Chains A and B, each alone.
Chain A
Amino acid sequence: MKLILLALVVWALGWGINIWIARQKAGRWQSIVSAAVFGVTLVIMWELIVRGSGVSPVILPPPSMIYAAFIGSTDTLAADFFQTFVKGVLTGYAMGVGAAFLTALAIDRSDFLKRGLLPIGNFVAALPIIGMAPILVMWFGFDWQSKAAVVVVMIFFPMLVNTVQGLDAADKMQKDLMRTYAADYWQTLFKLRLPAAAPFIFNGLKIASTLALIGAIVAEFFGSPIVGMGFRISTGAGRLELDLVWAEIVVAAIAGSAFYGIVALVERKATFWHPSQRKGRGR
């Protein structure tokens, strides 16, 4: 009971700090600190409430136990990470993004294909493609190849649709200007249309980065060698080793956020000229 009261106090404290921060003059650090305070408050409350109300650690382990499991099984976690992320996700991501990009360039040259494929691409992008996972595991076997295949299938259409839209982003005026310079197709492509498409392409890359990790992990639920993040999560949950499962989820969360963050960072460097990336806060 005391611990729960303490949790409420921590919550009030965190809330108070954030309100105080919000009243300060806006600066770069403001939102970062504020978010950090919120996160830390949540973790402390989790720990206190789980301990205070006597929730069985089998159901919801407190953060300290998850941390202990994380430290205690770094070897397993590293092997799982290597199997799922480096082998499955990154290979699949590279192949899927590359294939979608080349297809988009090919489609773009034909108005007929564009009108035919875009609506279908949009439709497929909304489908529960993850359901393909069991089929692809059957086709490509249990190892990482099938995971990479699931990733490719999952990210292909979102990437394709975004790239095709991006290639349409250049203004008519700008295209006309390129014509007056007597630029050929490739010059126009590399100097005008691809740069203009960059924000859309990066949007696709970001969507694909989150989809890729999900695809690889879920694919492992359908069969995998005895290593891999999805394998560990599903078997760990079955054996009620929830601290290990949570540690694996922490790894997945960090990997997912880092992957997304790296793509976003590259975007900021590459498309610094775009309004959404310029300095200064919007409303």
Chain B
Amino acid sequence: MMRNLFPILTVTLVIFALWYAFAIVLNKNWAYDKAVRGNYELSFSELVADTWSQKKPRLPTPDQVAAEIWKSTGAAAIKKWGRSEGRPLSYRLGKVFGDKKSLLRHAWLTLSATMLGFVFGTGLGILLAVGIVHNKAMDNSVMPWVITSQTIPILALAPMIIVVLNAVGVSGLVPKAIISAYLSFFPVVVGMVKGLRSPDSIQLDQMRTWFASKSQVFWKLRLPASVPYLFTSLKIGVAASLVGAIVGELTISQDGGLGARMLQGNYYGTTILIWAALIFAAAMAAVLVSSVGLVERITKKRMGFVA
């Protein structure tokens, strides 16, 4: 880890430097336009200063994005807290957490849809995998369609799924969660099938010599053996769930969520807003994946897998 730290930091620094450089290139036209209209000359340092501080830049700089994130999370909360001075505590907390414009609230909406879909998808995936491993007819008939189902661009279905579900009276979290579930069940099915089939024939024979029943083989050998595979799939699945929820929110933007924020930024041309939502979503993905990784490490340690 330490060995990699220096190269990673270097690359990250280079990326940031490139980001600032691109900001100059992409935003300079607007700066020149303003200069021509205002009839003044731009020196290079003025140009740089202008491109890094425009209100609606084509590419906002990292510090502008960071400022926007802080403004719509921490700063907004502090402001609400201060303004409701003298009211009861529950009211003040309600003001802070009920803030409609807060990025945290949008993130929470996205997160809850993601988690709901992730749980659905994982459950469905595990059930399907168990069926596929134990039933040859299912293996033959369902597995090819599971694979085909992923070559269908499901995200393209998002608008339709949401319209249809709205028409039958299902709205709110569930439509988004369904898209998340569809995206996350696939890695789980594939991983679990692989995992449930991973015990060696030696181990299966051993179970036979112990006269183990089919369910005993499943609970005591196949299921434990599939755990590492399951976790690998879960990490992919949780990231896919988040993507599903965000794309779902692009269509039902009135409910809010990080995807809705991106769409809003798109309408009003406020790129900073899009980038803030994007970076926030990225951070959320990182936290989700690494928390699955943490659970994985603990579980594996408890179960006695060599780390």
Contacts and interface: CB of A to CB of B under 8 A. Distances in A.
Contacts of B142: 38
A30 B275 contact: no
A86 B201 CA distance: 48
Given A130-B247, A210-B151, A253-B152, A120 B266 contact: no
A150 to B, nearest CB: 12
A15 interface: yes
A137 B266 contact: yes
A146 interface: no
A18 interface: yes
A233 interface: yes
A179 interface: no
Given A128-B243, A134-B263, A31 B285 contact: no
A253 B151 contact: yes
Given A127-B282, A128-B281, A221 B159 contact: yes
Contacts of A120: 8, 11-12, 15
Nearest to A134: B266
Contacts of B140: 18, 21-22, 30-31, 34-35
Nearest to B250: A221
For chain A, what secondary structure do more than half of its interface residues adopt (helix, strand, loop), or is it mixed? helix
B282 to A, nearest CB: 5
B271 A214 contact: no
B163 to A, nearest CB: 5
B47 interface: no
B281 to A, nearest CB: 5
A139 B7 contact: no
A56 B168 CA distance: 10
Contact of A138 (B9, B58, B157): B58
B167 A58 contact: yes
Given A22-B136, A132-B278, A210-B151, A138 B243 contact: no
A218 interface: yes
A259 B153 CA distance: 12
Given A128-B282, A132-B278, A217-B153, 18 more contacts: A22-B137, A22-B140, A35-B143, A39-B145, A112-B7, A119-B8, A128-B243, A128-B285, A134-B274, A139-B26, A214-B153, A221-B251, A238-B163, A242-B160, A252-B156, A253-B151, A257-B148, A260-B151
Given A230-B156, A234-B159, A222 B266 contact: yes
A250 B251 CA distance: 21
Interface residues on B, range: 35 or more
B246 interface: yes
Contacts, number: 171
Interface in A199-254: 210, 213-214, 217-218, 221-223, 229-230, 233-234, 236-238, 240, 242, 245-246, 249, 252-253
Nearest to A123: B286
Contacts of A94: none
A87 to B, nearest CB: 16
A116 B153 contact: no
A78 interface: no
Interface in B109-158: 135-137, 139-145, 148, 150-157
A131 B246 contact: yes
Nearest to B243: A128
Nearest to A16: B137
A257 B152 contact: yes
- Interface residue SS majority, chain B: helix
Instruction: Give the contact-size bracket for chain A.
Output: 35 or more
Interface in B236-268: 236, 239, 242-243, 246-247, 250-251, 258-259, 262-263, 265-266
A1 interface: no
Contacts of B278: 128, 131-132, 135
Interface string A41-80: 0000000000000001011100000000000000000000
20 contacts: A15-B137, A22-B137, A31-B140, A31-B143, A35-B144, A38-B141, A56-B167, A117-B7, A120-B12, A126-B285, A126-B286, A126-B289, A130-B246, A131-B281, A134-B265, A210-B150, A217-B155, A237-B160, A256-B151, A256-B153
A60 B11 CA distance: 50
A19 interface: yes
A283 interface: yes
A35 B139 CA distance: 9
A6 B26 CA distance: 63
Among A39, A115, A210, A246, which residue has the most Cβ atoms of chain B within 10 A?
A115
Q: Which 4 A/B pairs are nearest by Cβ-Cβ distance? A: A116-B7, A34-B140, A38-B141, A116-B11
Nearest to B277: A131
A246 B235 CA distance: 31
Contacts of B154: 214
